[in-house]
Structure 1
Amino acid sequence: MFKLLLVSALVAVGLCQYSVPVHGHNDTNSTSTFTNPILDTGGADPWVFRHGGHYYMTYSNNENITLYKSDVLTDWNNAESKLIFKPEKGFNYSTDIWAPEIHNLNGNWYVIFTADPRGDSPPPEVEMWCEYNCPAVHHRMFVVEGEGDDPWEAEWKYKAELDTYDQFAIDGTYFQHKDQLYHIYSCWHRKYDGWPANLCITRMSNPWTVSSPFSERQIISVPEYAWEKTPFGRASNDRLASNEGPQQLTNPTTGQTFVIYSAARSDNRNYCLAQLELVGDDPMNPGDWRKHPFPIFYQNPGESAYGVGHASFTISPDQSQDWIVYHGMQDPTDGWYARTIRAQKFGWNDDGTPNFPKPGYGPYEVPSGQK
């Protein structure tokens, strides 16, 4: 999700040599199918949830947090929109607003998001301490609170900066286990590392307060496999090797708990999804996590679906199906500019792990119960 050049203006993706659909409208001959992307303009880092008979979405636009509302999951071109937070200038959270997520916790709504104070441009006196170029050195995690039962009618206001020990932090998410709330986010080992980006976890006492001291912060995943780095198997350095975009996913039948995260470089065709499973009882113990040795959702060159990652998960209107919403590229040479938002149904393997399809464009059947 490292988006040095993420455009704030939304850019439509171009056609390529493959004859695949590029518009997210329902099929003209049938309302029972749809094609990807589900939004005609560009977008990245989608966060989608269902509440009160509607779907809601937010995604990175660099400048603010906008909430979208739709009756259907598979077409957002005519969705209602509402600005819920636009920062004033001069604060640590004024620029480069990335990867907002909206969670319902303790009766209110909370947006957890990444931002920085200088448009991803630290002064030379700071960046000179980094081993590699590190424009994201000032990125931190922040929280906006929405009071009320309905996210659309909630009163939104800035709440707090999350404590990440004055170190790089992006793509934070809330993780819940046995009535304890945790913060999982993408981190460096040290303040000026500049890479690799790992997954860190800390305890929280409420949605805006981290309770773990730095000595208890744990790193639960690092880019160790060749496919977690770009180019594959880079031997000389770890620049832009990333574990980021973590999301909690729970098997509704078995109760197994996973963290699905993004790996490799976010502006590259090799961006993919990877999997941690909580096999012990303590999320703060790195030994209680089991990492899948291969990516679980990755590029499909046969359909020109590249750079697939930074996903969120939701359900069909009748709650019988699980759906993944993610971003990907049709032309990987355009990097961050090329990303668009897509959706597909997924299932579960016999061992309880998620079973994701190959990414593509469809046409696919609409979610069960969608009208």
Structure 2
Amino acid sequence: MLKLLISVALATVARCQNQSNPNTFTNPILEAGGADPWVIRHDGWYYLAQSTNDAITLSRSKILTNWNTAESRILFAPPPGFNYSTDIWAPELHSINDAWYIIFTADPRNDSPPPEVEMWCEYNCPAVHHRMYVLEGHGTSPWTTNFTYKSQLDTYDQFAIDGTYFQYKTGLYHIYSCWFRKYDGWPANLCITRLENPWTVASPFSERQIISVPTLPWEKTPYGRASNDRLSSNEAPQQLTNTVTGQEFIVFSAARSDNRNYCLALLELVGTDPMNPADWRKHQYPVFYQNPAEEVYGVGHASFVKSSDGSEDWIVYHGMRDPTNGWSARTIRTQRFTWNEDGTPNFPKPGYGPYPIPSGQ
């Protein structure tokens, strides 16, 4: 406990010192509500979509590296009694075909299925009723757009969380965290389906494909678990495009989000058909993971954005200083990343800084 208090105090001192240096910043960039950050840049503003568990909020800031005093507003607060009224998770804001869409996860009963449902699960499965939903809005700016409920995304009446859009030359796709069967509970895999539009799935269940399964030691909780698949997870997929080479990647989170071993992994589209599992290659080691030397743990659920002048790539993610406090310990951080010679992303070690501010800020 003493070590933790000292480290927090040192971080606070460093943050205060760097307030006098406008050319550097320190992590975290947001202390409160620090989970599943989704950041985009539009017309000179950065926008951060978040969940308060019963509503979706949007914040905006001219700078990427401090959100503690950013403007915020509620975009969507569903009334009680709907299938999407509780446990709203991981909202994402996308611009597709001149409209704004928010894709999010929710359930109808506070993540607590009745015993007559949960008895079918091989393991405990509180998220059995989580599904994917879509909001739609029309306007030049997401800040002034009114969003309305559009539809549930079909996941064949099965568990679905952390869905995202994958935009590719062959069409629009939905990639999300799924189970093999309705009552599995574990493992959590990555599924892909083809979309007719941002709110309508075109693939029948027979064409749903699983493109990643948590089989490697670092994808399991505890690390390397051999006895069963409980807590083994692939989730929070995000599209990342190398705009120079044209290579397409899915960066996803592995292990468990309240655990020190939560990390980022990489799928690379090495073929031309996102619906063909053989056209995806999983890199065999995590690409962004804990840094105990700097007391950084549980790093994951990232999004990616450019610096304000467009010259740099930045990762926005959540992490923990004290992993024993689980989900409540998460805060939001950001760091610059670059690209390797083979076109894959080159992520830094996660840390607190101080770091140079984004170019053009």
TM-score computed with the length of structure 2 as normaliser: 0.97
Partner of 1:354: 345
What is the SS of the residue equivalent to 1:132? coil
What's 1:106 paired with?
A: 97
Moved more, 24-33 or 94-103: 24-33
1:181 aligned residue = 172
User: Which residue, out of 9, 20, 25, partners 1:34?
Assistant: 25
Tell me which amino acid in the other structure corresponds to 2:220. Answer: K
What is the CA–CA distance in structure 1 between the aligned matches of 2:128 and 2:231, rounded to whole Å?
13
Q: Tell me the distance in 1 between the aligned counterparts of 2:134 and 2:16.
A: 33
- The CA deviation string for residues 89-148 of structure 1, in whole angstroms up to 9 with x for no partner, is 000000000000000001010000000000000000000000000000000000011111
Opposite residue 203 of structure 1, the aligned amino acid is R
Q: Which amino acid aligns with 2:72?
A: S
Q: Structure 1: any 5+ residue segments left out of the alignment? A: 1-13
Structure 2 residue matching 1:21: 3-state secondary structure = helix
> CA 1:143–1:24 in structure 2 vs 1: closer, same or farther (change >3 Å)?
farther
Please name the residue that 1:283 is paired with: 274
Equivalent position amino acid for 1:353 in 2: T
Instruction: Supply the distance in 2 between the matched residues of 1:15 and 1:62 (Cα, whole angstroms).
Output: 29
Pair 1:20–1:203, CA change in 2 (3 A): farther
Deviation at 1:59, TM superposition (A): 2.1
Measured at CA, do residues 44 and 330 of structure 1 come closer, stay the same or move farther in structure 2, by a change above 3 Å?
same
Is the Cα–Cα contact under 8 Å of residues 263 and 286 in structure 2 kept in the other structure?
A: yes
The structure whose RCO (Cα within 8 Å, separation 6+) is larger is 1
1:332-347 mapped onto 2 (5 Å cutoff): 332-347=323-338
Tell me the matched-pair count.
357
- Residue 324 (structure 1) aligned with residue 324 (structure 2): no
1:144-194 Cα distance to aligned partner (Å, 9 max, x none): 111112111112101100000000000000001105000000000000000
CA–CA distance in 2 between the matches of 1:308 and 1:42? 15
Once the 2 structures are TM-superposed, how far is the Cα of residue 16 of structure 1 from its aligned partner?
5.7
Match of 2:230 in 1: 239
CA shift digits 1:173-220 (9 cap, x unpaired): 000110500000000000000000000000000000001000000000
User: Distance in 2 between the 1:198 and 1:209 partners?
Assistant: 21
What does residue 51 of structure 1 align with?
A: 42
Distance in 2 between the 1:106 and 1:149 partners?
Answer: 12
- Identity, in percent, stands at 71
Does the CA contact (< 8 Å) of 1:198 and 1:221 recur in 2?
yes
| SS of residue paired to 2:244 | coil
Residue of structure 2 equivalent to 1:159: 150
Q: Is the counterpart of residue 69 in structure 1 residue 56 in structure 2?
A: no
Q: Give, in whole Å, the separation in 1 of the partners of 2:44 and 2:19.
A: 25
Partner of 2:292: 301
What does residue range 136-175 of structure 1 map to in structure 2 within 5 Å? 136-175=127-166
Whether contact under 8 Å (1:114, 1:172) holds in the other structure is yes
Once the two structures are superposed, residues 19-41 of structure 1 have per-residue CA deviations (whole angstroms, 9 ceiling, x without a partner) of 75258778222111000000122
2:70 corresponds to 1:79: yes
Is residue 2:183 matched to residue 1:192?
yes
CA drift at 1:78: 1.1
The question of whether the paired residues in 1 share the 8 Å contact of 2:191 and 2:211 is answered with: yes
**Aligned residue in 1 for 2:257:** 266
Question: Given residue 21 of structure 1, which amino acid in structure 2 is its aligned partner?
Answer: A
Query: Residue 60 of structure 1 aligns to which amino acid in structure 2?
Result: S
- Find the aligned partners of 1:142 and 1:200 in 2 and give their Cα distance: 16
Cα distance between partner residues in 2 of 1:193 and 1:342: 33
Q: Write the deviation string for residues 3-32 of structure 1: whole angstroms up to 9, x where unpaired.
A: xxxxxxxxxxx7464775258778222111
What value does the CA root-mean-square deviation take over the aligned residues? 1.3
CA 1:16 to 1:162, structure 2 compared with 1: closer, same or farther past 3 Å?
A: farther
Which stretch shifts more, 230-239 or 195-204? 230-239
2:130 & 2:220 partners in 1: Cα distance? Answer: 21
1:26·1:75 contact (CA, 8 Å) conserved in 2? no
Deviation at 1:77, TM superposition (A): 1.1
Deviates more, 1:122-131 or 1:19-28: 19-28
Structure-2 separation of matches of 1:24 and 1:54: 24
1:336 counterpart SS class: helix
The letter of the residue matching 2:360 is: G
Distance between the aligned counterparts of 1:217 and 1:192, measured in 2?
A: 17
Corresponding residue of 1:4: none
C-alpha change, 1:42 and 1:67, in structure 2 (3 Å) is closer
Residue number in structure 2 paired with 1:8: none
The separation in 2 between residues aligned to 1:108 and 1:131, in whole angstroms, is 41
Within 2, Cα distance between the matches of 1:213 and 1:113? 21
Q: Distance in 2 between matches of 1:271 and 1:36?
A: 18
In structure 2, runs of 5+ residues without a counterpart are: none
SS at match of 1:161: strand
Give 3-state SS (helix, strand or coil) of 1:185's partner: strand
CA distance in 2, matches of 1:214, 1:95: 26
Q: Give the AA of the match of 1:325.
A: V
**Which of 352, 355, 360 matches 1:364?**
355
